Amino acid sequence: MNALKNIRNIDYTVLFARDMKKMRRFYEDVMGFPVHSSLGEGWTAYQVGSCLLALTERGVMFNDAPTPARALSVQLAFRVTPGQVDQCADTLRGKGVAIESEPTDQPWGHRTLFFRDPDGNVLEIYADI
């Protein structure tokens, strides 16, 4: 029997931040995610729907070399309703966030918006259309 077949969802995702202060400011002030828990300066978890998005620094548990600046390492996708994609773009622009790809209806049935966090991770806000 394969016990791994019992996995039903992702509980939390951890981003290894290059600049913890900038990343915390972004996810708290720009994205507006509420802090779920904090273990000091080196670990903060945010509640995002039913999941947690955690930020940590290298060296807390793992001390791998950081990925090069602006190197794509992860894409996070956040679902909203169709009318909210454009509203999110307006909110992000108002907070000074550069939009990588403006709201667009994609052939696979999503309306998408792409931007980056301070570490260069790609963030997507999308809706089923």
pLDDT tens-place string over residues 60-105: 888 888 888 777 789 999 999 999 999 999 999 999 999 999 999 9
CATH architecture group of domain 68-129: Roll (3.10)
Percent of the chain with pLDDT over 70: 100
**pLDDT-based confidence at residue 1 (cuts at 50, 70, 90):** confident
pLDDT at 53 over 80: yes
pLDDT at 7 over 90: no
Distances (CA, A) of 118 to 3, 8, 38, 83: 38, 31, 20, 26
Is the Cβ–Cβ distance between 15 and 116 less than 8 Å?
no
- Does the structural domain 1-66 have CATH classification 3.30.200.20? no
Q: Where, residue-wise, is CATH 3.10.180.10 in the chain?
A: 1-66, 68-129
Both tokens of residue 5?
């077949």
pLDDT at 23 over 80: yes
